[in-house]
Structure formats: structure tokens, C-alpha cells
């Protein structure tokens, strides 16, 4: 199973097996409404402490981390399609039957099982409800997305408040950036009797939607696999004729 190297504060660190980072450095940014668990999710992904500062010229807090992500080499060219029988918790082994089946496939395809290490720079953008730049946080988020061109945007949404959170998702799709959706706080939503249809949501958005519970590190590995292979949604947003004409 792919694992992030824990407690990596510098990007030149390597794993315990002497893995050498490849040149495939990735910049990931994490966006989402306030209080959706972004910081907890970053810590679950990287196992590293966030560096905290301020965005230039503002009092808005800037948080980021660097770490080495270990994966199979074929993940670098995967289409981002969800994989069946994969465990969602970091460090948790799959069931013995699935593991034996996986080992059999890997043993017959040794080249595809080759390991790779990727240097990841992960930035936690300020909590914002949209990209209209109506607040300092929204302006920082919008400007960062427009100027840095991240390899993947991890859009963290509250599974119990989809209508409000998906407004940001739609704006990201219109912006044309590669996105993977982290459907976070799923445990809290289920406690309220909510059961989001993850497959239908993914199909509607034309994006991978990964269920996560950040405090339990559930969904972290699947989320990283999709982030590595993130692509732009082909969803076309259509507005009433008057608005379409105006824009």
C-alpha cells in the first residue's frame, strides 16, 4: 500500500528504504468552506506538522507542508478511476483474500509493481465559501489558484451540508483546474441520518468523490491516489439564457 513518509518537514527527505524522490514534484492545494476539517485531513495525509505563516501583504494565515509520497509507479499514469477492494484507512492491511489476490497480480506484473516516490508540496488555502474575492480569505484562495496552477485541487466538502459546499466545487470546475473531492465528516452525516449517494455525486460532477473521515484517517490513501491522477471535469455548467448572454 502506498504511504506518505511521516514527519517530513523538508522536501529532500527520503523514506526508510532509501527511496529516491523522482522529478515528478507535485503541488497540491486544499480548499473548502470553513470548518470542514481541512487541517485535520492534511495532517492525516502527510503525518507532518504544518508550517504556519501569513500570506504576503495580508493577515490571513498561510499553512503548508512538504512530504514524500510513496506509491506504485503505475499510479503516476492512472486515470483516477476508483479501485475496488482497496482499504480506506492509512496503515490498515486489506483482508487476507484480497491481499493474496493483489500479490498474485503484482507478481505476474513486476514492472507495474515498481515503487516510486513523489515530492509533494501541500498548501492549505484559507477557508472560503467561494471565489468572488468578497473577503481577504476568498481573494487569497482565488489568486493562488489562478497564479500557481496546482497539479491538483483537493476540494474538502462537508458530507452533511452538500448544497452550501458544492457551490465552491462548481466554481472550481468552471475555473478549469484538476479537482478531486474529499467528502469529509461522513461519520457525522451518517449520525444525522444522511447517506450521500457518492457514485451519483461523482457522476454528476464528472470528478472522483472520495469518502473521508479525517480524524480517523479513513479514505486518505484513496484520496492521494486520485490527487496524483487528478484531471479536469468535463461538466458544462449551463445558466439561463440571460446570464449566458451576459457572460
Does the structure show a pLDDT above 50 at 12?
A: no
Of the listed ranges 17-21, 70-74, 111-115, 196-200, the one predicted with least confidence: 17-21
Give the 3-state secondary structure percentages of the chain, helix then strand then coil, rounded to 5: 35, 20, 45
Q: How far apart are CA 98 and CA 104, in angstroms?
A: 10
Region at 242 (left for phi over 0; alpha for psi -120 to 50; beta for the rest): alpha
Does the structure show a pLDDT above 70 at 60?
A: yes
Cβ atoms < 10 Å from Cβ of 235: 15
pLDDT in tens, 25-51: 899 999 999 999 998 999 899 886 667
Highest mean pLDDT among 36-50, 112-126, 197-211: 197-211
Does the structure show a pLDDT above 50 at 14?
A: no
Across the chain, the runs of DSSP E, i.e. the strands, are 3-4, 26-32, 51-54, 61-72, 115-124, 152-158, 179-184, 209-211
Of the listed ranges 12-16, 61-65, 120-124, 214-218, the one predicted with least confidence: 12-16
Q: What is the pLDDT of residue 221?
A: 94
Residue identified by cell 485541487 is: 153
Highest mean pLDDT among 7-21, 73-87, 130-144, 205-219: 205-219
Cβ atoms < 10 Å from Cβ of 18: 7
Mean pLDDT across the chain, nearest whole number? 78
End-to-end CA distance of the chain: give it in Å, rounded. Answer: 46
How many residues in total does the chain contain? 247
Confidence of residue 108 (pLDDT cuts 50, 70, 90): very low
Region at 133 (left for phi over 0; alpha for psi -120 to 50; beta for the rest): left
C-alpha cell at 13: 527527505
* Torsion of Cα atoms, 234 then 239 then 244 then 247, to 10°: -70
Amino acid at each position: 500500500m502506498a504511504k506518505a513518509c511521516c514527519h517530513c518537514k523538508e522536501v529532500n527527505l527520503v523514506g526508510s528504504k532509501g527511496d529516491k524522490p523522482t522529478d515528478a514534484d507535485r503541488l497540491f492545494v486544499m480548499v473548502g468552506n470553513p470548518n470542514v476539517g481541512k487541517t485535520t485531513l492534511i495532517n492525516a495525509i502527510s503525518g507532518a506538522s504544518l508550517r504556519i505563516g501569513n500570506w504576503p501583504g495580508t493577515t490571513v494565515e498561510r499553512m503548508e507542508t512538504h512530504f514524500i509520497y510513496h506509491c506504485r509507479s503505475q499510479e503516476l499514469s492512472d486515470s483516477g478511476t476508483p479501485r475496488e477492494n482497496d482499504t480506506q484507512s492509512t496503515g490498515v492491511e486489506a483482508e487476507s483474500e484480497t491481499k493474496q489476490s493483489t500479490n498474485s497480480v503484482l507478481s505476474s506484473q513486476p514492472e507495474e509493481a515498481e515503487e516510486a516516490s513523489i515530492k509533494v508540496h501541500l498548501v492549505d488555502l484559507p477557508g472560503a465559501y467561494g471565489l468572488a474575492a468578497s473577503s481577504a480569505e476568498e481573494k487569497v484562495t482565488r489568486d493562488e489558484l489562478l497564479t500557481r496552477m496546482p497539479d491538483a485541487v483537493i476540494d474538502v466538502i462537508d458530507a452533511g451540508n452538500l448544497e452550501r459546499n458544492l457551490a465552491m466545487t462548481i466554481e472550481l470546475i468552471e475555473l478549469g483546474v484538476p479537482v478531486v473531492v474529499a467528502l469529509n465528516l461522513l461519520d457525522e452525516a451518517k449520525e444525522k441520518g444522511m447517506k450521500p449517494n457518492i457514485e451519483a455525486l461523482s457522476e454528476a460532477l464528472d470528478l472522483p468523490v472520495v469518502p473521508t473521515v479525517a480524524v480517523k484517517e479513513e479514505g486518505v490513501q484513496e484520496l492521494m491516489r486520485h490527487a496524483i491522477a487528478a484531471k479536469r471535469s468535463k461538466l458544462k455548467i449551463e445558466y439561463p439564457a440571460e446570464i449566458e448572454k451576459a457572460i
